[in-house]
Every structure is written in C-alpha cells, then in structure tokens.
Amino acid sequence: MDRIRIRGGNTLAGTIHISGAKNAALPLMIASLLTDDTLTLENVPHLADVEQLIRILGNHGVDYSVSGKRVGQNGASGRTIHFTARTIVDTTAPYELVSKMRASFWVIGPLLARCHEARVSLPGGCAIGTRPVDLFIEGLTALGARMEIENGYIVAKAPGGLVGNRYVFPKVSVGATHVMMMAASLAKGETLIENAAREPEVADLAACLNAMGARIEGAGTSTIRIEGVTSLSGARHRVLPDRIETGTYAMAVAMTGGDVTLEGTRPDLLENALGALREAGAEILEAPNGLRVRRNGNGLQPVDVVTDPFPGFPTDLQAQFMALMTRSSGVSHITETIFENRFMHVQELARLGARISLAGQVARIEGVPRLAGAQVMATDLRASVSLVIAGLAAEGDTFVNRVYHLDRGFERLEEKLGNCGAEVERLSS
C-alpha cells in the first residue's frame, strides 16, 4: 500500500492549478443517466472516485470516451469526457460497487425518473458519521415513488412516473438536493424544494441540467422550483473549480509561509474560509485567473470557526484548518456541526506534537511552537490532507499511510506541492 513521505520546513512559492471539483463532477456524471443523448463534461479531475463512478455508470449501460489533449493544454488541464446512456441495461446498483463510494447511491434519482424503477444498495464511503439516506427516501416518496428496504437494498418504484410536489428538507443535505433536482427534472408537473442546499455544486448541476433542457429556477438559494419535462437532451458543460482543493492549498501556504498563485479558481466559492485565513494572518489577493496567497514570518493568529452549510465554513475544510491552528500563537476552537464523527484526525495530529482536546463537537487547539515528523495514518479523505499540511511544517520526515484516501479527492497532490518547493514523495510498498 502506498504512503507519502513529507520532509517539512520548506516554504511554498509558485503556481498551483486548481482542478475541477470532485463534488460537482460526480453528480454531473450521474446526470448522464437522464438522457439517451451524449453529455460532455469538461474539466473532469483525475481522481479515484471519478474512475469508480465510471465503472458504476458502465454497469447501468453508460458508454464513455475521453477526448485527447488539446493545443495549449498542459498536464494540469482536466479531462473532457463524453457520457452516453443510450439504453439503461440494468437498474440495479450492486453492493460491491456502491459500498466503495457513497455518492454512487445518487443514481437512484435518475434511474427512477427515467426507468421508473431502481434497486440500489445502501451506500458506503468515508466513516465520518452515519449520514443516513432518510432524506433521499422521504424526498423521492414525496414525488410518488414507492420505497422499500430489502436485504440491504433500497427498492424504488414509480410505475406511472414521478409526479411533482412540494418537499421541505428537515435538514440541509447536498446529496439529497442533487438527487431531488435530477428526479424532478423528468417528473410530471412542478416540484418545489425548500430548505435546499445552497452549495455552488448544486447550482453547477442545475446549470448543466438546464443546458440539457430542464427548467430549474432558484438553484443556489434555499428554494428551488422545477418544472418537469418529458425528456432531456445532451449538452456540454464545464465542471466548476474545486473550492475544497483551493482552500486546502491556501491553508498549506499559510502554514508554511511563501507566496503561491492558485490558478483557475474563484474566490466567491469559499469566501467564509478565506475570511478565516485572513484572520489567521494570511494575505489573500485576487489574481487575474484565481487567487494569490502569501504569508510573511509574523506567525499565525488563533481563529475560532464553526462549520456550517454554504455559505458558512465548509466541513470539508475543517481538518485542514485544524492542522493550521496547531501552529497558531494561542488557543483556537473548531465546532463541527455537520458530521458527528469528523475529528478522527485529532489523534493523528497529536502524534506530530499537536495539543488538541475534544468536548463533544468542539475541538480546542492550543498552538505549539513546533511539530515533529512521525508515522501517521489517514482515516478519511479530508483528514488525510490535514496530515500533509501538518507534515509540511513539521521538523524531519512525516509518513502518511493509507493515502488511497488522498487519491479519492486530490489530483496529483505530490506534483502540485513539489512544483512549489515542498519535498513530497510517494513511496510504493
């Protein structure tokens, strides 16, 4: 099993190209199930989760092809992939595929909308909380689906097709909002979704669906109105930049000092997190095609943050910010409100010398003057990269084990950091 060695102490300087967003690419790929025409997606990142979803879609009969490199593109450019679901050959998403990635459960919406039936295994994915599928079941039931659980599978049927309705989410859910939008696009009549997720990835999916012929208004706000259509066509859509990758590298720069331009991203996608970084002492400037992040040698200031749905501080940046706060000049607090079990990186950061105590969903981080390299183990996708950030500032060598978590969500991380002066090396067992 691969691991990553990081030799700490180097400042970062240069340019990092930000990839297409994993959290946008996955629902966009799943949307290809809604049409028998070709859906072309640009700026698709090279990630293990993307490859796994391609296999899952292939199980349903989706063909795909990847365009070659175009003039002017470099190795940082995302792929252009064409997805064609001419015929759905199987409406079952089996356990052996779905158990490896939670987002694959989302195929239930398009399959129900187009084929009026679906049999989908209960999902797997990172162990960062229970993340029940109740909201998916309740939402699709509101659209007229009959839902049952049989032997670990959700069996969903809508013999006459889905029918538009009003549904109010009792709790904000990005995944369930994605699924409801896709399902309602082919439902009969109007659907009104209230307390919907406002994340940029939701608006990105809506833009793609509208390009395919859907009629969606209000995506990016808490109320989404969808007028169902009888069919959708193909389209061409560019995946938006990855705001979590943007924030991660911005925090790495703040941790090590230096001056890095994050190319191909948008500051409006993570204003709250950038505000927290500014409070901590980083200077963040808008660049012609992204952001410039730099920090002088004055040290890091402690900052308290609370994770919240967009536009709040993203839970997917919580672990990275905690790593940053381990080197602040005081005491900071991080309150996690989204997932009940997302502090598993605490004990691994402690192996590097961090001083962190937990009280329920609140982490108290007492900044230390130095971290020391050690053997650490990744426990989930975002926790894994927090260990990388800490390792960049630690004295000596840090070895991050179980890096397959990193490969799920960060494209060519060693190369991107290495090009800016970090000593990061992948070691194969």
Output DSSP code: residue 104.
Answer: G
Which pair of structure tokens corresponds to residue 163? 């029918």
3-state secondary structure of 71: coil
Paired with 190 in beta bridges are 227
**Residues 307, 199: Cα–Cα separation, whole Å:** 13
* Max Cα distance, the chain (Å): 65
Are the beta carbons of 105 and 93 closer than 8 angstroms? yes
Euclidean distance between CA atoms 222 and 202, whole angstroms: 11
Going by C-alpha positions, the residue among 145, 200, 197, 191 that lies closest to residue 169 is 197
How far apart are the C-alpha atoms of 78 and 6, rounded to whole Å? 26
Residue ranges for the known binding site for phosphoenolpyruvate are: 22-23
Burial profile 15-48: b = 16 or more Cβ within 10 angstroms, e = fewer: bbbbbbbbbbbbbbbbbbbbbbbbbbbebbbebb
Binding positions for UDP-N-acetyl-alpha-D-glucosamine are: 102, 131-135, 171-174, 316, 338
Cα gap 315→264, rounded to integer Å: 22
- For the annotated catalytic residues, the residue numbers are 126
Rounded to whole angstroms, the Cα distance separating 314 from 278 reads 16
Q: Please answer whether residues 219 and 206 qualify as being in contact, where contact means their C-beta atoms are separated by less than 8 angstroms.
A: yes
- Rounded Cα distance between 222 and 227, Å, is 17
Rg for the chain (alpha carbons), in Å?
Answer: 22
Q: Which tokens go with 73?
A: 């593109």
C-alpha 70/C-alpha 139 separation (Å) is 42
CA distance 229 to 51: 30
